[in-house]
């Protein structure tokens, strides 16, 4: 709910300075209401980026603290650079929604224009374009000019709403859905992205005790589900998007000037900082859904949207946030990768994710969305549905075949998610 603030001085002073605590006390009552016909509008109706219902005052304070850090613009004295893309998380996840900031990726592709080539060596500094220069850096990482074999793609910062619920979903639940899809005969067959933990261990092990190199984790975050946990994503984003090192990602990424540090010697931010942002991310509510109709539910299933956008997934009984444990989380994703066809393919691979594979986008807070799909290519919901290809073909055919009344009812339902 905050705007970006521009003060490096605020770091460590105004903020509460509290350690992100591991859990809220709450019971196991569901925080989400599957709003149905006649739902009474509550306080969350028109708000995105607010904490889950039922948390205590201290939690709200810590949530706001994390929100503040999320929107804090970092500068050279904070360790920005040597290269960066933007200077605050919130620049790419404004009010928890998509964009407006974005990341551009590049990949060497084959003659079809989208299959990643085996040899990516001409991209000596990786796949991410980083144009921001700080701390004496002179040379950005940009795309080789006039090279038709290098495909440039765009990723808007996806919404971060409700991601705690996605972290809380039980592994067994994701594997169950994957197995169910395997048995389908209509072409819908998502798969898990198994990933390797890329960060050093977080000293706060109240959520996870993973350490660098732990393999075979279920990827959940990122448009190709390449990261398993939210704290890992915070550290990854600081390092990759902002050139900010943390104890979890202590080393600056390789850059053309060969710089290994910035204006702030050593590790830029303490682990506490990472955990305070993770505290916030884990507790962002799924905006309450109003006006969902039984007819919409039925059409969503009949058009097979629900095969991938699974309406609810069961969370772990031992997820450290009691309010989010052992519930049916209404996340509208299976967190699996699906082949979405050549039109959406971005040339990028990531673990088990190929060029045209994307994690099912969670349908959360869509009424706050201004753009849709990983690259924000459309601004209209119907166009977003029509942009589905690949495995979703059967679903698209069903969508196209709807009567105009059913079409409108389904679109209204999705819009309300
Ligand atoms: C320059 C824009 C940019 C900045 C700055 C940025 N992000 Fe992101 N964020 C993205 C993009 C693009 C993705 C998708 C990345 C991918 O698929 O690998 C993403 C993905 C995420 C996700 C996963 C969301 C999902 O649906 O899986 C989280 C969580 C996240 N970012 C948090 C952060 C945090 C925390 C910060 C600050 C430390 C941050 N981001 C800074 C652009 C940005
Ligand atoms: C085969 C799996 C699959 C099926 C079936 C499917 N989707 Fe999707 N959907 C996806 C994936 C994957 C994405 C993300 C694509 C991207 O970001 O480029 C997505 C994205 C979306 C988005 C954009 C969300 C956003 O945040 O930008 C909407 C809206 C959507 N789907 C609605 C639907 C509807 C409605 C149906 C049924 C008519 C449907 N989908 C069927 C997999 C599926």
Pseudo-torsion of CA 50, 54, 58, 62, nearest 10°?
A: -30
Q: Are 286 and 161 spatial neighbours (Cβ–Cβ below 8 Å)?
A: yes
Q: What local confidence, expressed as pLDDT, does residue 349 receive?
A: 97
Residue nearest to atom 39 of ligand 2 (CA): 305
Least confident of 45-54, 71-80, 159-168, 376-385: 45-54
Q: What local confidence, expressed as pLDDT, does residue 17 receive?
A: 36
Alpha carbon of 356 to those of 115, 218, 233: distances in Å? 8, 19, 22
Q: Are 83 and 137 spatial neighbours (Cβ–Cβ below 8 Å)?
A: yes
**Residue 203 burial (C-beta neighbours within 10 Å; 0-12, 13-18, 19+):** exposed
Q: Which residues pair with 105 in a beta bridge?
A: 128, 153
Q: Of all residues in the chain, what percent carry a pLDDT higher than 70? A: 89
Query: Taking Cα atoms as reference points, which of 98, 170, 172, 101 lies closest to residue 364?
Result: 98
For range 4-12, the mean pLDDT = 50
The reported pTM is: 0.92
Q: Are 293 and 409 spatial neighbours (Cβ–Cβ below 8 Å)?
A: yes
For range 356-368, the mean pLDDT = 96
Residue 196 has pLDDT above 50, yes or no: yes
Say how many C-beta atoms besides its own lie within 10 A of residue 148's C-beta. 7
For range 24-41, the mean pLDDT = 38
Q: Is 243 in the pocket of ligand 1 (CB under 6 A)?
A: no
Tell which atom from ligand 1 comes closest to the C-alpha of 244: 38
Residue 29 has pLDDT above 50, yes or no: no
Residue 369 has pLDDT above 60, yes or no: yes
| Ranges of H-type helices in 284-392 | 294-302, 305-308, 381-386
Measured distance CA(94)–CA(253) in Å, rounded: 25
Q: Which residues pair with 195 in a beta bridge?
A: 217
pLDDT tens digit string along 255-296?
999 999 999 999 999 999 999 999 999 999 999 898 899 999
Mean pLDDT of the chain, nearest integer: 91
Query: Taking Cα atoms as reference points, which of 375, 372, 382, 373 lies closest to residue 408?
Result: 382
Query: In the chain, helix, strand, coil percent, each to 5?
Result: 30, 15, 60
Both tokens of residue 171?
A: 């592994």
Q: Is 161 in the pocket of ligand 2 (CB under 6 A)?
A: no
For range 67-93, the mean pLDDT = 97
Residue nearest to atom 18 of ligand 1 (CA): 222
Both tokens of residue 371?
A: 């753009």
For ligand 2, mutation pick of 385, 387, 408 (most atoms within 8 Å of CB): 385
Alpha carbon of 257 to those of 140, 244, 370: distances in Å? 9, 17, 38
Q: Is 160 in the pocket of ligand 2 (CB under 6 A)?
A: no
Q: Is 238 in the pocket of ligand 1 (CB under 6 A)?
A: yes
Residue 26 has pLDDT above 90, yes or no: no
Residue nearest to atom 42 of ligand 2 (CA): 360
Say how many C-beta atoms besides its own lie within 10 A of residue 271's C-beta. 19
Residue 317 has pLDDT above 80, yes or no: yes
For ligand 2, mutation pick of 308, 336, 344, 413 (most atoms within 8 Å of CB): 308
For range 69-89, the mean pLDDT = 98
Tell which atom from ligand 2 comes closest to the C-alpha of 188: 1
Number of H helices, E strands in the chain: 10, 10
């Amino acid at each position: 709910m905050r705007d970006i603030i521009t003060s490096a001085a605020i770091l460590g002073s105004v903020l509460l300075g509290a350690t992100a605590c591991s859990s809220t006390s709450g019971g196991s009552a569901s925080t989400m209401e599957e709003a149905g016909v006649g739902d009474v509008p509550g306080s969350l109706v028109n708000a995105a980026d607010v904490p889950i219902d039922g948390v205590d005052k201290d939690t709200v304070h810590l949530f706001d603290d994390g929100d503040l850090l999320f929107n804090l613009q970092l500068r050279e004295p904070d360790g920005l650079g040597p290269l960066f893309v933007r200077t605050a998380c919130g620049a790419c996840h404004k009010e928890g929604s998509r964009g407006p900031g974005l990341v551009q990726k590049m990949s060497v592709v084959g003659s079809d224009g989208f299959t990643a080539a085996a040899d990516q060596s001409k991209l000596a500094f990786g796949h991410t374009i980083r144009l921001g220069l700080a701390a004496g850096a002179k040379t950005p990482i940009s795309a080789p000019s006039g090279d038709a074999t290098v495909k440039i793609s765009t990723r808007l910062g996806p919404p971060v709403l409700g991601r705690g619920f996605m972290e809380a979903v039980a592994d067994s639940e994701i594997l169950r859905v994957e197995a169910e899809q395997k048995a389908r005969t209509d072409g819908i067959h998502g798969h898990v992205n198994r990933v390797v933990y890329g960060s050093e261990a977080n000293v706060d092990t109240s959520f996870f005790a993973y350490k660098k190199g732990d393999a075979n984790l279920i990827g959940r975050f990122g448009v190709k589900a390449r990261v398993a946990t939210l704290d890992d994503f915070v550290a990854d984003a600081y390092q990759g998007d902002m050139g900010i090192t943390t104890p979890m990602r202590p080393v600056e990424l390789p850059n053309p000037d060969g710089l290994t540090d910035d204006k702030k010697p050593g590790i830029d931010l303490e682990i506490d900082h990472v955990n305070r942002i993770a505290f916030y991310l884990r507790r962002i509510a799924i905006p309450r859904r109003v006006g969902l109709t039984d007819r919409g539910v039925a059409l969503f299933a009949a058009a097979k949207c629900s095969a991938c956008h699974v309406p609810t997934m069961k969370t772990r009984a031992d997820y450290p946030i009691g309010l989010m444990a052992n519930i049916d989380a209404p996340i509208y994703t299976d967190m699996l990768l699906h082949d979405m066809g050549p039109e959406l393919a971005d040339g990028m691979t990531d673990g088990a994710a190929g060029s045209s594979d994307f994690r099912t986008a969670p349908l959360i807070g869509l009424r706050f969305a201004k753009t849709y799909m990983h690259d924000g290519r459309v601004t209209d919901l119907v166009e977003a549905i029509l942009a589905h290809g690949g495995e979703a073909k059967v679903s698209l055919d069903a969508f196209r075949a709807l009567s105009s009344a059913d079409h409108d009812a389904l679109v209204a339902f999705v819009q309300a998610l």
